[in-house]
Structure 1
Amino acid sequence: MDSAIAREQALDAAETLFYGRGIQTVGMDDIRGTSGVSLKRLYQLFPAKEHLIVAYLERRDIRWRQRLADHVARHEDPGRRVLAVFDWLGEWFREPAFRGCAWINSYGELGATSERVTDQVRTHKRAFKDYLATLVSDAGLPPDLAEQVYLLAEGAMVTAGIEQSGSKPAEQAGRAARMLVEGYDGTVGH
């Protein structure tokens, strides 16, 4: 089997299993069984489970941020783009396989024991925060609003993951974000 194909199959299996069941409950034998990639080949591609976890988070990060950016870019008004983040979160939270934020979950499981996983989680969260800062800046809003919007989004992710309450946390956080944004500029999103 070609290395690139084997790698993708292993990462597909890791994403399904790690995100669906939790990282610590999934062993390399589980990845082997789901991916169809031999254990020997898995360890050639990923010398330790930690390497597979980091690769899974890196690949998921690219996909997650692209999906968000694609959704937000559909809105022309820069202020509406800030609020569109919460619309997208609501759509994500309603997905049948939604199990919370993969990075928050990973940090909860491994943050105290894996520096590489912690670094990947922080890289993802920093990129998300930077993206929000760009949206806030493009809308001509005060820079400190980005931190507030970030905290609303992160809180919605945690709440949706724990409560499994669909889009409700995103809707509530989105209303709070709208109040903050409109407090600076009453024309946003109208």
Structure 2
Amino acid sequence: MSAKSTAAAVSVASEAPARSEKPRVRDRIRDSAANLFYRHGIRGVCVDAIVEDAGTNKMSFYRSFPSKDDLVAEYLKDQERGYWQWWDEAVAPHAGDARRQVEALMQAVVDLIKTKSKSDCGCRSSRGCALGNAAVEIPEGNDRLNAIVHDYKAEIRRRLRRYAREMGAREPDSLGDALMLLLEGGYYTRLTFPNNSGPVTSIAKAARALIDAHMG
């Protein structure tokens, strides 16, 4: 859940009767799962661990979510919504200028890694992309969950290719794909270099160089 969504939820709760101030069981389960899935992986977290962290029981869990996969699907979609909110806010000041939008997006990544807590895009600075992490864990035959991740990554690719076309790149699809490789790879260098000291700190400069090489 994004910071803005959380703030809105708190605002609504403050106006509700006292008996409703405690978060709903379903919300507690979802929030606990999001934290545990991100820290320990989807496979590494069982239903018992989730209900214990949420302060509830399995009966309440299965009343809220028919299966663990249903909870995982909601977790992934929550992360996706938060990411697009972060993306849209990063590029909004430069509407109509595709190059500036890409540069702003890459700079937003640099700004993001400087934070230690969970950001508005749903990512913690030490663990990379939640949906990218999930892609490694989801079994090949789980079409439902794999489709969520695939569609999300396909949309990133589509947006970056569109920016490349709008800025007049010679080979816009190639530039869009190169920018995606830069963006995706940058997240994961955060896992192997302490204190955000790795190559991701140069992502904005690298993006400008890529764009320059495809222009003209």
Q: TM-score range by the shorter chain?
A: 0.7 to 0.9
- The residue that corresponds to 1:139 in the other structure is 167
Corresponding pairs, count:
185
Say if 2:172 is the partner of 1:153.
no
Runs (5+) with no aligned partner, structure 2: 1-18, 117-123
Give me the TM-score of the superposition, normalised by structure 2.
0.74
CA RMSD of aligned residues (A): 2.5
Query: Secondary structure of the residue that 2:196 maps to in structure 1?
Result: coil
Corresponding residue for residue 120 of structure 1:
148
Could you say which residue in structure 1 is the equivalent of 2:112? 92
Identity, in percent, stands at 29
More relative contact order, 1 or 2 (CA 8 Å, 6+ apart): 1
Alignment partner for residue 170 of structure 1, among 194, 200, 204? 200
Instruction: Give the Cα–Cα distance (whole angstroms) in 1 for the partners of residues 191 and 146 of structure 2.
Output: 19
CA distance in 2, matches of 1:135, 1:165: 31
Match of 1:27 among 46, 57, 63: 46
Contact 1:94 1:166 in 2 (8 A): yes
Aligned to 2:74: 55
Query: TM-score normalised to the size of structure 1?
Result: 0.83
- The more displaced of 126-135 and 48-57 is 126-135
Q: What is the distance in 2 between the residues matched to 1:16 and 1:65?
A: 19
Which secondary structure state, in structure 2, belongs to the residue aligned with residue 119 of structure 1? Answer: helix
CA contact 2:38–2:130 (8 Å) conserved in 1: yes
SS at match of 1:53: helix
Query: Which sections of structure 1, spanning at least 5 residues, go unmatched?
Result: none
| Residue 7 of structure 1 pairs with residue 26 of structure 2 | yes
Q: Name the larger-Rg structure.
A: 2
